[in-house]
Structure 1
Amino acid sequence: MEIFRLSDLESLFLSPERESCLSYKLPYVPKEIGKLQSLQTLVLDTNELESIPEEISCLKQLKALTLSNNCLTELPNGFSNLENLTSLHLANNRFCSLPVSVCHLSNLGFLDITDNDLDLVPEEIGMLAESLHTLLLFMNKIEKLPSSFSTLTNLTCLWLGENCLKELPRDFGELFRLDWGSRPCSSNIAGNPLVRPPMDVCQLGVYAIRKYFHEDMEA
């Protein structure tokens, strides 16, 4: 509890994976975490967390939050109050859908939610169009992307590999900043049962995808 009296603390690392001196795994985060009003970086990955206390929404200065490698299925009410958050790591948890509260984080630039049980990306993902540059959705169960997905035109890195996608949104070619063509990577799109466009087109990059849908419309 002494930690939560450090009112000027800006960074807190409680990850046994990153800090070899830590020999335990946290089963919970005390609600007193909300007292650390100056906190900007909070790292809690590789623990045994099944929930996060509501009080985390009081950390208005928080910029980077790492919760990967836990047992989380949801985020607390008020999570969208973390308006200064720019980086959020949620990989290897048990989320079945992307929490809509994440889509209300207007400054979020980096979002990693790989290796979960997502089968749905909400339409509200389009609310991150101005800020989001990296979106990692690798290794989930996503069957379809919402129409608003094509508004994420600031994306430079997108991992959709190892999902259940059979088609991409018709306007997917609007994501012209993606580095798919210049830097091919198996995490981008491989491992999906794609039909429209077929996989060989997708692997050529965004401009090939745009051309495919343009020719499809003309036909």
Structure 2
Amino acid sequence: MHTLEQLRSGALAGTRRLDLSCDLTELPEEVFALADTLEVLNLSGNRLRNLPHQLPRLHKLLVLFASDNAFTVLPEVLGDCPTLQMIGFKANRIADVPAAALPPALRWLTLTDNAIRQLPKELGQRPALQKLLLAGNQLTALPGSLQAVQSLELLRISANRLEQVPDWLADMPSLAWLSLAGNAMGWALSHETALPEVPWTSLTLGTLLGEGASGHIHQVEAPGWPQPMALKLFKGAMTSDGLPGDEMAASLAAGKHATLTTPVARLSKHPGQAQGLLMPLIPPDHVNLAGPPSLQTCTRDVYPPGFSLTAPMAMQIARDVACAVAHLHQRGVMHGDLYAHNILIDPMHGQAQLGDFGAATRLPMAQAEWHPSLFALEVRAFGCLLEELADAANARVDQPSLQPLQALARSCMAEQPRQRPSMRELAQTLQTLQP
């Protein structure tokens, strides 16, 4: 985090990224001295209510974050910034999104946790839009113009007031990551699986193993359990994916499967009323297959430099994940975040486990006839993963052909979602393939 003193002294001359969180009520004039280099401006955690009309002077600005401020309207001046691609205004008080606020190069828009009731139809006139995060608003419908955005890959519309799934959503050719939970659709959902409860006072909190959008994961000592345990302690607030309660319900509905990380107990009697789930501890030698998308990659995960896999490992990961997702679909659960960064692997043998149900959606089993059209969107996400696995294996010059894996990836990414194979068919096919 930078300081006003650094900015005003000229110590930040030439910087490409500026992070200012210092109780600002207006944008400091000195920011414009960075106009020839500044690409990322992070103003989150201030008290801003508007932005100056001179903002387009930052002619190289690509990214603007202004979460946790006091905006009630998305500033129209954003639309005058010709290079601006990524906008993040999470957790403000925004009720109005003017069409004029949408820059022509818009690629990634985050408006999570606001008070938006309606979006402008002009949102469908932003052809570069790939990522749209709208969870935790008051939307009753999406603009039909969005169906024209052929590039849209990720859509978060959980915890709104939608009364039905738009008919055109299932025909979006690039959409792969979708969250719908927590809307007013009148779905008759099955009751959650009952889990034993473990009181907070019986646990001994250990090492922090990780942190996601919805909570912290700790290693814990849980007397009476035969295996080492981990606790996911929910933050209890709106996340970019939706509500923690929906995540808990989806992870319970998922049930047990060898290639899924699902809970075995529920936390009770936390002194701060926090919710939590206990899960078997993943062995310490397991690692995340990749890191989450970056500002540059937008919707695709980031792998370490020089990352590679053997062909047998790539195939094993594909099999395990396909089985996990096929199991979820059979139980009416759409994972919503099928990414390599949510997959833990044994780096020696390639066995994989899929976790993190933060963006998951439970679909009503009584209306199973339209499940395949939504599940076909998630098949495309699996196709992206297959592409990445094949690329990682092909990085080794001595690998046998991975053409069957590449062919499966292409079928998963067919432009017409209804032409894609089901996850059950993919899991069965992968069982027959040899690397």
Partner of 2:185: 194
Partner of 2:121: 123
- Residues 49-128 of structure 1 aligned to structure 2 (within 5 Å): 49-103=48-102, 105-128=103-126
CA distance in 1 between counterparts of 2:105 and 2:18 reads: 21
Contact 1:62 1:84 in 2 (8 A): yes
CA distance in 1 between counterparts of 2:176 and 2:76 reads: 35
CA distance in 2 between counterparts of 1:133 and 1:57 reads: 23
Cα displacement (A) at 1:72: 0.8
Please give the root-mean-square deviation of Cα atoms over the aligned residues, in Å: 2.7
Partner of 2:165: 168
Contact 2:51 2:77 in 1 (8 A): no
Contact 2:74 2:97 in 1 (8 A): no
The one-letter code matched in structure 2 to 1:109 is R
The one-letter code matched in structure 1 to 2:111 is I
CA distance in 1 between counterparts of 2:87 and 2:79 reads: 12
SS of equivalent residue, structure 1 residue 171? helix
CA distance in 2 between counterparts of 1:76 and 1:165 reads: 25
Cα displacement (A) at 1:11: 1.8
Partner of 2:228: none
**Any stretches of 5+ residues in structure 1 without a counterpart?**
16-23, 212-219
CA distance in 1 between counterparts of 2:161 and 2:133 reads: 15
CA distance in 2 between counterparts of 1:161 and 1:27 reads: 31
Partner of 2:313: none
CA distance in 1 between counterparts of 2:142 and 2:64 reads: 25
**Any stretches of 5+ residues in structure 2 without a counterpart?**
190-362, 378-416, 419-435
- Normalising by structure 1, we get a TM-score of 0.76
CA distance in 2 between counterparts of 1:115 and 1:28 reads: 22
Cα displacement (A) at 1:34: 3.3
Identity %: 27
Contact 1:72 1:94 in 2 (8 A): yes
Could you say which structure has the larger radius of gyration? 2
Cα displacement (A) at 1:194: 1.9
Larger strand proportion of the pair: 2
Give a deviation string over 1:91-126, Cα, whole Å, max 9, x none.
1111112231233x2222111100000000111111
Cα displacement (A) at 1:170: 2.7
Contact 1:146 1:169 in 2 (8 A): no
Contact 2:76 2:101 in 1 (8 A): no
CA distance in 2 between counterparts of 1:89 and 1:203 reads: 32
The one-letter code matched in structure 1 to 2:99 is V
CA distance in 2 between counterparts of 1:206 and 1:55 reads: 45
CA distance in 1 between counterparts of 2:183 and 2:166 reads: 14
CA distance in 1 between counterparts of 2:109 and 2:375 reads: 21
Partner of 2:7: 3
Give a deviation string over 1:66-87, Cα, whole Å, max 9, x none.
1011111224443212111121
Cα displacement (A) at 1:207: 4.0
Give a deviation string over 1:55-76, Cα, whole Å, max 9, x none.
2122111011110111112244
Give a deviation string over 1:116-147, Cα, whole Å, max 9, x none.
0000011111111x211110000000011111
CA distance in 2 between counterparts of 1:206 and 1:154 reads: 19
- Residues 21-40 of structure 1 aligned to structure 2 (within 5 Å): 24-38=22-36, 39-40=38-39
Cα displacement (A) at 1:189: 0.3
- Normalising by structure 2, we get a TM-score of 0.40
State whether structure 2 residue 45 is matched by structure 1 residue 46: yes
